[in-house]
Amino acid sequence: MNKPARIIFMGTPEFAVHALSALHKNDRNVVLVVTQPDRRKGRGRQLSAPPVKKAALNFGYKVIQPPTIRSGEFSNIITEYEPDFIVVVAFGHIIAKNILDIPRVATLNIHASLLPKYRGSAPIQWATIKGEDKTGVTIMLMDEGMDTGDILLSSEIEIGPDDTSGTLHERLANLGADLLIQTLNAFETGDIHPVPQDHSQATYAPLLKKNDGLIDWNAPAQSIKAFIRGMTPWPGAFTFHGEKRLKIFKAKNIFTDTTDVPGTVMKGFPDELWIATGKGVLSILEIQGESGKRLLIKDFLRGYTLPPGTHLH
């Protein structure tokens, strides 16, 4: 390309900010940023701008927040900007073919998994929940399917035994930003080679809801630990003691057998909380009561009694 490629960026949450920042730092020609409308959040229900909007305005980019992207008006706006690329990062809505086909070169997407594994809205959480030991980022050509387009570049990272979806989020966002710049460079040099996905190997990562964090104590301890890591920081893993919700942030496996009913508090040292599971025992390390703050288990147990035999559900 003889002149700087014209880029329209579409994204909403913090994950997408990293990619937008990389475009800015590399002096890419971002001609328009499209993001979701401001939403009311928190107890005060105050209007809050998406992270991408805040970043884009700070960089001096023009921002639009259409209530829908399926209108002819939106399509006309995008067409008027004559983009070479549209870059989509966690925008939040399916993008129709008439929009995908507007750029002169391509519509690109950053997806936080090693496609075709974990297509969908929550790939970071599900890779962790499923106990994967690696994940990564894929840059793909967008098509009408859900994360089904040809792969342009991908890169993997290890998932450590104590990684949560929160710790992975930052690393994957940075990796995706780097890969995006590499991909744009490859287009400029002509060194780009789309590879179709093997759809037979596809797995899915559906959107998580708040109530999906309920712990199933019938599962093995190893699986519950992975579940807690995947649900942290959102939507959060939790269990109930009677009517009281206890949020669990960190746990470890205790390699011992038990005949106790899953969910039963076991006898242990005064500053430990061991819970029987469907296979093995889970030791809770960090927890939060219904109206308290996140605490180490020894601090929590100073003010909250869970005697052996108590059943969590």
Condensed to tens digits (0 to 9), the pLDDT of residues 141-178 reads 999 999 999 999 999 999 999 999 999 999 999 999 99
Distance CA 158, CA 62 (A): 37
DSSP letter (8 states) at residue 264: B
pTM: 0.94
> Which CATH number among 1.20.58.1880, 3.30.530.20, 3.40.50.170, 3.100.10.10 corresponds to the domain 6-201?
3.40.50.170
Q: For residue 8, what pLDDT is reported?
A: 98
Q: How much is the pLDDT for 9?
A: 98
What is the reported pLDDT for 42? 76
CA 225, CA 299: separation in Å to the nearest integer?
21
Q: Is 52 exposed, middle or buried (0-12, 13-18, 19+ CB in 10 A)?
A: buried
Alpha-carbon gap, residue 149 to 234, rounded angstroms: 28
Continuous segment of H or E residues that includes residue 186: helix 165-189
Q: What is the largest CA-CA distance in the chain?
A: 73
- Which pLDDT score, from 0 to 100, does residue 268 have? 84
Length of the chain, please? 313
Cα–Cα distance measured from residue 94 to residue 121, given in angstroms and rounded to the nearest whole number: 11
The residue to which tokens 């500053």 are assigned: 271
Q: What letter represents residue 19's amino acid?
A: A
Taking CA atoms, 255 is separated from 109, 117, 222, 258, in Å, by: 42, 31, 10, 10
Strand order in the sheet with 134-141: 63-64, 29-34, 6-11, 85-89, 106-111, 134-141, 151-158
> Which helix (H) or strand (E) segment is 245 a member of?
strand 244-254
Q: What angle do CA 40, 41, 44 make, to 5 degrees?
A: 95
Please list, in sequence order, all residues whose beta carbon lies within 8 angstroms of the beta carbon of residue 145, skipping any fewer than 6 positions away. Answer: none
Output the pLDDT for position 156.
Answer: 97
Please tell me the distance from the alpha carbon of residue 255 to that of residue 103, in angstroms, as a whole number. Answer: 56
CA pair distance 111, 118, nearest whole angstrom = 9
Domain 210-303 in CATH 3.10.25.10? The answer is yes
Whether residue 4 contacts residue 30, with contact meaning beta carbons closer than 8 Å, is answered with no
Q: What pLDDT, on the 0 to 100 scale, is given for residue 150?
A: 98
What local confidence, expressed as pLDDT, does residue 45 receive? 82
Closest among 79, 84, 76 to 104, alpha carbons compared: 84
In the chain, residues under CATH classification 3.40.50.170 are 6-201
CA distance 120 to 111: 9
The C-alpha atoms of residue 191 and residue 199 are separated, in whole angstroms, by: 25
Distances (CA, A) of 168 to 113, 160, 271: 11, 9, 30
Kindly give, in sequence order, each residue whose CB lies less than 8 Å from that of residue 269, ignoring residues fewer than 6 positions away. Answer: none
Cα–Cα distance for residue pair 282/301, rounded to 1 Å: 16
Residue 16 CA to chain centroid, in angstroms?
11
Query: Closest by alpha carbon to 3, among 182, 179, 183, 188?
Result: 188
User: Could you tell me which residues are beta bridge partners of residue 195?
Assistant: 151
Residues of the chain with pLDDT under 50: 1
Count CB atoms within 10 A of the CB of residue 76.
9
